[in-house]
């Protein structure tokens, strides 16, 4: 199944000049300073957060698009190694974009200065099918953990997402290394007084995780790795059926809730809902029109997410949140349906404030 593919989508909307001007106004872009991040950068993520994905390979500014769309939080995708066997992670696997202030540092700081933050995501379909997902590529648990730690210290982020699908979700050695590295990074965070969460983004059926997803989480339990959020991709089912995407989101999450209850039998049901995330694909997904997440679906899912008290509400991806290609499925730059620009951002963004009590 194709999920979160790296298609090099063209810029849309704002011109490069407008984006540059927005960065100047936001304090982002340009050369990166080596000074430490401000104290507000280490603020924990809200207990309930809307954080759509940002396609980091497009050349656009996450700070500018977050401001334009009204999003305080983003999930930035993806980090991966430049080649199988490497233990060095780069944004998009591009060696010119290391984990450094020079790569997105001012953008992330600008988002944090507005009271938000960024979730950094490893993996995705391309990395997971080319051996360049960090834990598939690198055989050193210590080196993997060091990369996770460097993200926290470089950018002041407080959540790391691990998108494991396709070949990676069946790579037992990679799964075990990844979970051992997560546990190691979590112990480091405790020793250093940092807030650091880990989420797993996993494919799902309409009734919950497949057996390999459950096995991945069981391995995390066995390795003492705390998984703060299990974020399911409620799209691309590829089962030959027509779908009510909102209804299927609810049944998929209910199935996941039952699976988490078996993995964490001492955790009460409400808290288990608070460890669930869902990621939608607005409009027509990769499978085609039978899997179309509509504007009405977005309103229904947001209300359901509030009622259940889930942790994360997301969608793939911010650059698709416009109606510029009606009838086109699976585009990285438009939803394929008639909609107002930023409709899905505006529908989901209030979730952070409607539920969060911090």
Q: Give mean pLDDT, residues 29-38.
A: 39
Q: Answer whether 112's CB lies under 8 Å from 159's CB.
A: no
Contacts of 308 (CB under 8 A, 6+ apart): 253, 273, 276
Confidence of residue 124 (pLDDT cuts 50, 70, 90): very high
Give the model's confidence band at 16: pLDDT under 50 very low, under 70 low, under 90 confident, else very high: very low
Of the candidate ranges 24-28, 223-227, 335-339, the one whose mean pLDDT is the lowest = 24-28
Q: Is the pLDDT of residue 8 over 80?
A: no
Beta strands 229-233; 292-293: pairing state:
unpaired
Which residues, in sequence order, are CB contacts of 265 under 8 Å at separation 6+? none
Return the pLDDT at 86.
Answer: 98
Instruction: Please choose, from the candidates 168, 30, 10, 15, the residue with its C-alpha nearest in 3D space to the C-alpha of residue 101.
Output: 30
- The answer to whether residues 38 and 105 touch, using CB atoms and an 8 Å cutoff, is no
Which superfamily does 40-355 belong to?
A: Glycosidases (3.20.20.80)
Q: How far apart are CA 99 and CA 147, in angstroms?
A: 8
Residues 293-314 have pLDDT tens digits of 999 999 999 999 999 999 999 9
Residue (of 162, 155, 217, 152) closest to 185 by Cα position: 152
Q: Summarize pLDDT for 222-274 with one digit per residue, the tens.
A: 999 999 999 999 999 999 999 999 999 999 999 999 999 999 999 999 999 99
Ranges of each domain in the chain: 40-355
* Predicted pLDDT at 355: 67
**pLDDT one-digit tens code per residue, 74-96:** 999 999 999 999 999 999 999 99
- pTM recorded for the entire structure: 0.90
Residue 29 has pLDDT above 70, yes or no: no
pLDDT digits (tens, 9 = 90+) for 208-228: 999 999 999 999 999 999 999
């Amino acid at each position: 199944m194709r999920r979160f593919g790296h298609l090099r989508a063209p810029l849309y909307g704002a011109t490069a000049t407008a984006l540059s001007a927005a960065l100047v106004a936001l304090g982002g872009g340009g050369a990166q300073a080596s000074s430490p991040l401000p104290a507000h950068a280490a603020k924990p993520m809200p207990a309930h957060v809307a954080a759509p994905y940002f396609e980091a390979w497009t050349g656009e500014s996450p700070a500018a698009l977050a401001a334009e769309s009204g999003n305080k939080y983003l999930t930035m995708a993806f980090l991966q190694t430049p080649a199988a066997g490497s233990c060095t992670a780069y944004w998009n696997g591009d060696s010119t974009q290391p984990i450094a202030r020079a790569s997105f540092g001012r953008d992330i700081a600008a988002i944090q200065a507005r009271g938000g933050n960024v979730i950094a995501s490893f993996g995705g379909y391309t990395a997971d099918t080319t051996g360049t997902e960090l834990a598939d590529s690198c055989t050193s648990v210590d080196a993997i953990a060091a990369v996770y730690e460097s993200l926290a210290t470089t950018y002041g982020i407080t959540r790391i997402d691990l998108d494991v699908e396709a070949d990676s979700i069946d790579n037992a050695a990679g799964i075990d290394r990844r979970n051992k590295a997560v546990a190691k990074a979590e112990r480091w965070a405790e020793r250093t007084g940092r807030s650091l969460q880990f989420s797993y983004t996993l494919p799902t059926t309409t009734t919950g995780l497949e057996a390999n997803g459950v096995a991945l989480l069981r391995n995390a339990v066995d390795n003492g790795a705390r998984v703060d959020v299990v974020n399911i991709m409620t799209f691309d089912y590829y089962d030959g059926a027509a779908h009510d995407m909102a209804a299927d989101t609810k049944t998929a999450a209910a199935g996941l809730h039952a699976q988490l209850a078996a993995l964490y039998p001492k955790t009460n049901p409400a808290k288990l809902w608070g460890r669930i995330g869902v990621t939608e694909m607005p409009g027509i997904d990769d499978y085609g029109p039978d899997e179309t997440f509509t504007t009405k679906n977005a309103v229904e899912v947001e209300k359901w997410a509030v009622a259940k008290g889930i942790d994360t509400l997301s969608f793939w991806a911010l650059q698709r949140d416009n109606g510029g290609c009606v009838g086109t499925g699976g585009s990285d730059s438009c939803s394929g349906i008639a909609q107002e620009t930023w409709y899905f951002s505006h529908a989901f963004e209030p979730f952070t404030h409607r539920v969060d009590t911090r």
